[in-house]
Amino acid sequence: MADLNILFTSAGRRVSLLRSFRRALDELALPGSIIAADAGLSAAATFVADEKAQVPRIDHDGYIDALLELCDAKSVRALVSLVDTDLVLLSENAQRFEQLGTTPLVCSAATNRICFDKVSTHAFFTDNDIRTPQVLSDAETEGLSSDDFPVMVKPWDGSGSAGVHVAANAQELAFYRDTTPNAMVQRLVVGDEYTCDAYVDFSGTVRCVVPRRRLETRAGEVSKGLTVRDPVIIDAVTDCVDKLPHAVGCMTVQCFKTRDGSVEFIEVNPRFGGGHPLTIHAGANFPKWILQELTTGQCDASFDCWTDDLVMLRYDAEVITQGSLIR
């Protein structure tokens, strides 16, 4: 069998995820390398992968060509992106990778476009009867009374929690609308926040959903999370992901469960999220399933293969290296 080399682009700090792919290769006794690419030389994950590569920035014209060249030179079997910003581009160029024998693990361009900006995501939710907090028009925003606060202000093209603010009153709302580029105003949901990892197999079927309750966040990313086997959330997430046109692989779905028991969706990231390691530790081994599908066309995924009530407590670990290697 040819080596099962996996290329991760925007590898960044995803050390734990890359190590899980490394373990999955070993567990399945598959020959292959984990290759970590990043635009910078100082991405921690590039120092723990089997091989590293520097690629142009995503907004550089030569980005896709550089990835194609790398996939060809390294006989890459599958390509995984770990940020939002190149997903549309990768899906538009999927055939070029496939011609080289590289499977880009990306959803359809249609799904990536829906997920990438928050206005499109909101339209997708409302068009498909998926509950989501109301986005306010300018007129509705002007008409807010003091009882309507707090509300959310966020850039419609933002990623993660970047630029997201909670406005407690009209003064703060005016300030954040002024200072947030492409601001949209949305009602605040009160409830428990969940990030759900959905596994969609290569035929497009949702095969597993792991809801992770956010217990604590840091810099917009989960720092403490808990697996919760809640059938209401699992069903709602399955329904939501099913309605996306041609999703595949790991879909990371943000939602709230409110006090009245309803599930309100915030956004979908069609890629591995930062908090995904908890899902793998709980037994939902997405990396292994991806490798199984790549090699046999089938995988072990199931809805009940993971451990409920498992906690992830994150902390800072470090890679130490010579300064000359990051310049």
Rounded distance, CA 318 to CA 21, Å?
19
- 159 makes contact with a second copy (CB under 8 A): no
Rounded distance, CA 257 to CA 190, Å?
8
- 161 makes contact with a second copy (CB under 8 A): no
- 193 makes contact with a second copy (CB under 8 A): no
Give least dist CB 223 to a second copy, A: 8
305: helix, strand or coil: coil
Q: Which of 23, 28, 30, 42 touches a second copy by CB under 8 A?
A: 42
Length of the chain: 327
For a second copy, the closer of residues 160 and 191 by Cβ is 160
The interface with a second copy within residues 262-281 (CB under 8 A) comprises 274, 277-278, 281
Give least dist CB 228 to a second copy, A: 9
Listed as own residue / partner, the contacts of 281-284 with beta carbons closer than 8 Å and 24 or more positions apart are 281/310, 281/312, 282/210, 282/227, 282/306, 282/307, 282/310, 283/307, 284/197, 284/199, 284/208, 284/210
The mark string for 5-34 relative to a second copy (x by CB under 8 A, - otherwise) is --------xxxx------------------
Provide the token pair at 231: 């059938």
The interface with a second copy within residues 195-254 (CB under 8 A) comprises 215-216, 218-219, 221, 223-224, 226-227
Q: Are 224 and 215 in contact (CB under 8 A)?
A: yes
For a second copy, the closer of residues 224 and 243 by Cβ is 224
For a second copy, the closer of residues 27 and 98 by Cβ is 27
Q: Are 182 and 262 in contact (CB under 8 A)?
A: no
Q: Are 208 and 302 in contact (CB under 8 A)?
A: yes
> Any idea which residue has 């947030």 for tokens?
180
Give least dist CB 317 to a second copy, A: 4
* Chain contacts with a second copy (rule: CB under 8 A): 13-16, 42-45, 47, 172, 175, 179, 215-216, 218-219, 221, 223-224, 226-227, 274, 277-278, 281, 309-326
